[in-house]
Chains A and B, each alone.
Chain A
């Protein structure tokens, strides 16, 4: 089955700790994205990557970091510098980022920081 997997589904952390969210896709898509969703809010773009070893900041990149060492994988690290990290994190992919293609989403990771 082709698709996007995210793990874990739920994650609980204490304030001050860094945490890494996993995103893997086997769709052979070039572009991958990380979004954050807060209650009553639209999706906001954190980072995106069009090709391996390249990524760009989105609208709310502060306090987050990413890497893209393999085409299939785009992990997101939420650092202690992120002021309000509790949110629903969504990873998406598209065939490429160079045209307005559809994006497909993984199941999401719900992060709670206390």
Chain B
């Protein structure tokens, strides 16, 4: 059973601080990792993809991947109230029959306090 684990939160940070979201995955052969942001009542929106060990930065967002530890994280710098949402971590792994599937964590709810 492939699993992706996230702390459900809520994680509360003050405006302007760094928010750190963490995720672990069970399937060692997972190759691609994604962070989605989901506002209440809305669908998930892709914000970061990471495929190799190390850091990947995009604006205020930095994704970090450590395949040896089976660990993925998302850092949000200069957090804004508009960043308040649930963040979903997803891992992609080969599922047979030539296809890849995503396994999603249950999400971490982030609240940025003005």
Q: Which residues of B contact A (CB under 8 A)?
A: 4, 8, 31-32, 34, 36, 42-46, 49, 51, 88, 92-93, 97-107
Contacts and interface: CB of A to CB of B under 8 A. Distances in A.
- The interface size bin for chain A is 20 to 34
Interface of A: 31, 40-43, 45, 48, 50, 56, 58, 90, 97-108
A40 B106 contact: yes
A104 B99 contact: no
Given A42-B88, A42-B105, A97 B99 contact: yes
User: Can you list the 4 inter-chain pairs with the closest CB atoms, starting with the nearest?
Assistant: A100-B32, A100-B92, A42-B104, A43-B104
A43 B99 contact: no
A43 B44 contact: yes
Given A42-B88, A43-B88, A90 B106 contact: no
Contacts of B46: 102-105
7 contacts: A40-B8, A42-B88, A42-B107, A56-B97, A90-B44, A100-B92, A108-B42
Q: Which of A48, A98, A100 has the most CB of B within 10 A?
A: A100
Contacts of B42: 107-108
A50 to B, nearest CB: 6
A60 to B, nearest CB: 13
